[in-house]
Structure 1
Amino acid sequence: MAHQRSKLLFFCILSCYVIVITAKSYYEILQVPKGASDEQIKRAYRKLALKYHPDKNQGNEEANKRFAEINNAYEVLSDGEKRSIYDRYGEEGLKQHAASGGGRGGGMNIQDIFSSFFGGGPMEEEEKIAKGDDVTVELDVTLEDLYMGGSLKVWREKNVIKPAAGKRQCNCRNEVYHRQIGPGMFQQMTEQVCEQCPNVKYEREGYFITVDIEKGMQDGQEVVFYEDGEQKIDGEGGDLKFHIRTAPHDVFTREGNDLRTTVTITLVQALVGFEKTIKHLDDHLVDISSKGITKPKEVRKFKETIALPDDADGFQRREKNWN
């Protein structure tokens, strides 16, 4: 009976986990804020579509799945009517809208979306656009958040481009022309031609960014916010990258997917045995014990018996090292 309850708990937790994964919003899939402009959405789509395109990820089923998600999200967010419905009513609203005959009916398939954005033929490389500097931040994350998942609010300050009085030269390019300097003789000339654009200036702004921490993230992994780095006039912003770094913990240290801690016992306990209880990172209690002699600095492994699903990206082992 207890075994059945354990299995029931396993499947219940697993079902909830799947629901959370599939509920990822279209904005999260494209890695843009909800108030992103059409241009931000296009740029984010271009980067992600090129990164996860099947031509660059042959045989990678996860990349193919991401590519489909990216195109589905872009189809909705690039359409003003669909995006408005999605913002107000979510995916269920889009389904009802389609069922009532609204929209274009049927939508576009993945290849149509990619081809309409990049053009036909073989996959093109990303066009070269002037880009601001990337900003990299070392982000200390607690073992609790790395074990259970969580989110951190980080204060961010950066230079933001704002309108200013006057005009300026912009979109400058070199144009080549030929000038006749004698009978049958021509000279090739190059002239820089610029447009007149509204003037701009940099202003310092600050705001909070929410960084989502996935279960089991390793040191050095990145969480990227596209175009949230240094801004570039007549170009696109660099990227803001958070490098995950495990913060020191009072009780545990992490080694791969194992947790280690030091337990102090008395001389009598070292000779005849001991029983102790340790609070885990999620506050559940772990009972450890030993019968007989325990040597100094001896490493022992104790199995946990909690009914939790193994997470491929998390702390996979049910056995934890206690030193």
Structure 2
Amino acid sequence: MNKETLIDVQKRIQPYIHRTPVLKSKLLNEISGVQLFFKCENFQKMGAFKIRGATNAILSLSEAERQKGVVTHSSGNFAQAVSLAAKKLGIKAYIVMPENAPQVKKNGVKTYNGEIIECESTPEAREATAARIKDEKGASFLHPSNQDEVILGNGTAAMELLEDHPDLDILMTPVGGGGLIAGTALAAHYFTENCKVIGGEPMVADDAYRSLLSGKIEYNTTFNTVADGLRTHLGDRNFPIIQKYVDRIIRVEEDEIIEAMRLIWERMKIIIEPSCAVPFAALLKNKEEFKNMKVGIILSGGNVDLSNLPF
């Protein structure tokens, strides 16, 4: 993984994705004391940044591999991303989803012709079910966050943001499986002089925070967070990148996530999902530390079950 690889990935996936807008809010700047630049991946195809990594992963397969289809496990956004990318490229997508995944995300997968296989809501169940499908169908497994091609594809969101605003002091993302923050950290490393990357994570699912402290991948025993996209853990491909290039991770409480989400809905008039609000919540919790800085926040997605809002 180097600068040239990221540039190649950006060119490869460009025909298949949107270059999403960067929004600003004078009121949120005043509330936070920070100059904020929101990279709106909630306006991305299928409603989240994950189409970037999914598209790059599928385009990296050989023609023979594509003919046998792809399989992944996901609580929703990567499921939709793989389904849409596979549909565009004319191949079959098998999608393992936890039974409690938001219905809006299941509906999205069906819209893009992905075939859903449900499982229990644990990382172990997801992985075992996906492995079974891989063996049965001969499909290529695409990991939602712990695969080089996915990490590099994800990094293109930060690349675009830095092209538009090269003088950012801080880049912030949510932390779930680690694929977005790892890609963002690579982009910041290769395309800026000293922009720091900081993650936001729910207090009740703080495996990445604990992993950086212990120096090894930690796991969650509870998954009871409103940020449904962050109920997973780091992997052996993204964790070394995070260790090397991420400054730190800030943990936030559930009510802080909900308040940050509500602020963006009310003040910016855009739809974001709870996972997406976590880095903004982390900034608000520590706003004195970031005062007068230029901070880019990647709004990771906007796939929300409107019948089950947290506020």
TM-score, normalised to structure 2's length?
0.24
Larger Rg: 1
Q: Which has the higher contact order (CA 8 A, sep 6+)?
A: 2
Question: Counting helix residues as a fraction of each chain, which structure ranks higher?
Answer: 2
